[in-house]
Structure 1
């Protein structure tokens, strides 16, 4: 999901700071990420004045990512859905469609 977010954000003119393991950095750079942080080696919570945080992992990353937001910044969390066995209706995919709808509105300051 984060890979798609990078592409959508870049398409809308955003400066993209991505957190990922170092091994994924070259791929994310190809997708358009402007800055990369290896969250296994650096504490990204020291970053400040971020406009939008897309939290696709949750766990302790959510509270840490809140610290990076500027006043009035936006945090979007990926909702975890219960997967149905055998790829039935509702098994994955819905998050990508929602991201395509929500992220451009978020970047443009439209309805949330």
Structure 2
């Protein structure tokens, strides 16, 4: 794993560092174009489908991080390369995350 990705939580954007603590409503709204309550609702709907486990070799990317990456991509149309530096996640991982999360959202909303 490249050093850039290992230090994701230390040097990534402020929202990603705050994900482990308390989300600030204004930050979520401005960054993802979604209210905090909607964000939390979608997180709870997709969590069983996109949650990954931690291993000895690496920390898993959390469900919240996965959802933020996907929503940022959908809201802004940023390239995977620009999101790679913003979130400190490889573009290969981002391409898988966006697909998985979009599929999970579609399935979850069909069931509702």
Mark yes or no: TM-score above 0.5: no
Q: Which has the larger radius of gyration?
A: 1
Larger relative CO (CA 8 A, sep 6+): 1 or 2? 2
* Greater fraction strand: 1
* Greater fraction helix: 2
What TM-score does the superposition give when structure 1 sets the normalisation length? 0.30
What TM-score does the superposition give when structure 2 sets the normalisation length? 0.30
